[in-house]
Chains A and B, each alone.
With several copies, the nearest count.
Chain A
Amino acid sequence: MPEHQEKSIVLSIERLSPSVYRLTLHAPLIAGEARPGQFAMVACGSTLDPLLRRPISIHQCSGDGRLQLVVKVVGRGTQLLSEIRAGQTLDLLGPLGRGFRLSPGPVALIGGGIGIAPLLFLAQSLMQTGQADASCRVLLGAQSGEDLAPLAAGFETLGCHVELATDDGSLGRHGLITDLLPAHLPNLGKVYVCGPHPMMAAVAALCASAQVDCEVSLEAHMACGLGACLGCAAPGADGRYKHVCKHGPVFKAEEMAWTTR
């Protein structure tokens, strides 16, 4: 899977919630090869400030070269991305990293906040290849319903069974989505998770004690996204550092050290 530096064209940008935007791009080279869980390094501006690209997961791809990203505004780079307009170009580097390893059987997809974004692509692939069926559980959480609803859309039409939770109780269950996991664990062959670090640590621990396979999608500050700068180190279970951009961002939960962070 070669990486490409591709000047994509912005087809549309939609505001999904006060801080979340969906960008639809024409990026045939990257869309043609991306796998669920992979990401792109996105150049957020045309000047030297901000300097570095930002890692953004691939949200969806289509056969006709369209690629979607979902971006939450948290700082300057993502702010600039939210201000882009249809017709402009966006310089992408991708597809990057090692995505989810799809395997057949009963699964759960667990997403928190903007970490839900890459899971739609994963659910599509699992359902369309028949590796998952209607037993597929999708557990999604966020701060509030306003944040959660737009990110949670799309999973049900794929035929997954969706459960929601919000911190403020405004949509779905009031509380943490991870609280819903133990009830399902005995029936699961594998769990895929992407979200805040504490949430992934909790899911990894639950899966470890239930001896269920678990894959986590980690975050790290990245400069290159290519395995060259060695900036994106995360401590592995073996005491060595893994590079999130190259060895991950998706790791088997047991590969990583969960206590040292």
Chain B
Amino acid sequence: MDNAMTIPSQPDLRVALGPLALANPVMTASGTFGYAAEFANLVRLNRLGGVVVKGISLEPRAGNPPPRIFETAAGMLNAIGLENVGVKRFISDKMPHLRTCGCRIVVNILGDSIDDYAALAGHLSAVAGIDALEVNISCPNVKKGGVAFGTAPEMAAAVTRAVKQETDLPVIVKLSPNVTDIVVMARAVAESGADALSLINTLIGMGIDARTRRPRLANVIGGLSGPAIKPVALRMVWQVASAVSIPIIGIGGIGTAEDAIEFLLAGATAVQVGTANFYNPGATEQIIDGIADYLRQQGESSVQAIIGGLRLGA
């Protein structure tokens, strides 16, 4: 009796973000998975499509005073303040373990100026084991009065060009959702040479403690993430996928395979799981398995078949 015949074959989960090939479309979102070591006992890291590490700056940053996080309805606010060990210690202390993960390693970078981003890209290009850079443009441009790079198309374009010039690594630009027209931002970045887009970063939110009349975050405002923002993220991914031709990584409130599939259908080539790593550390592996199950149920042999597969019209 050949049992193998009744077991449906494993669907092909491979996807490519331009030059960056992934074993499957499921990555972890920056700032929600540390430097991967934190989850090594809970997740088989080599099963992941990729890990995006916590945002790295040129110099170490202490971050904001506490409280830094606050739970909201089906979401959370964070104002970590971009705490990180800085690029030097990242390379010396964090990269050795990251090289052993057995999956794609993407380094998220952030800066106060275009020069910062360029310098980071230069530094990191020489480091073995880094597969791509993800440029976080939701940071304030100190030279332009603190307006976020990600809210003005010319600034976002300039950062993209500067980073591309300094590196041969694939460059993913991560968009901020706090804009009137996400398509304008996406086009500006795509035309400036980005290899792929990540969206979305957090929405800007706030919480207040009625009893004490104080803000819930020491920083007053913070980034809203989690299932609460999924509908906004999905809409933006769909709008951008309909407008630009470079691949998109969908991010925002993804916690289940169904969530991930919705983003793929909307046109994302891959997804990142963020806040869900906190409430369910097993989320990423469950999502990978769930996508495979879905493809089998739907009679699809490859995940490619569903990317952008949203059915419109009657």
Contacts and interface: CB of A to CB of B under 8 A. Distances in A.
- Chains A and B touch each other in the complex, with CB atoms below 8 Å apart: yes
Contacts of A3: 41-42
A51 interface: yes
B279 A53 contact: yes
A226 B38 contact: yes
Contact of B282 (A5, A223, A234): A5
A255 to B, nearest CB: 16
Q: Which of A53, A93, A222, A230 has the largest number of chain B CB atoms within 10 A?
A: A230
A228 B39 contact: yes
Q: Which of B39, B69, B78 has the largest number of chain A CB atoms within 10 A?
A: B69
Contact of B227 (A48, A223, A233, A246): A48
Contacts of B69: 221-223, 229, 231-232
A123 B238 CA distance: 49
Interface string A220-261: 111110111111111100001100001000000000000000
Interface string B21-51: 0000000000111100011011000000000
A246 B64 CA distance: 18
Interface residues of B, number: 36
Contacts of A235: 65-66
Interface in B223-237: 226-227
A185 B78 CA distance: 41
Contacts of B80: 229-231
Interface string A1-32: 01111000000000000000000000000000
Contact of B34 (A2, A49, A227, A234): A227
Nearest to B80: A230
B66 A221 contact: yes
Contacts of A234: 66
A93 B41 CA distance: 11
B278 A48 contact: no
A232 B76 CA distance: 14
Given A52-B71, A223-B278, A229 B39 contact: no
B277 A51 contact: no
A48 B68 contact: no
21 contacts: A2-B41, A3-B41, A4-B41, A4-B42, A48-B73, A48-B74, A52-B71, A93-B281, A220-B66, A223-B78, A223-B278, A224-B278, A226-B34, A226-B39, A227-B34, A227-B38, A229-B69, A230-B80, A233-B83, A241-B63, A246-B38
Given A43-B280, A230-B68, 14 more contacts: A4-B41, A51-B74, A51-B76, A93-B42, A221-B66, A223-B69, A224-B38, A226-B38, A228-B54, A229-B34, A232-B69, A240-B62, A241-B83, A246-B38
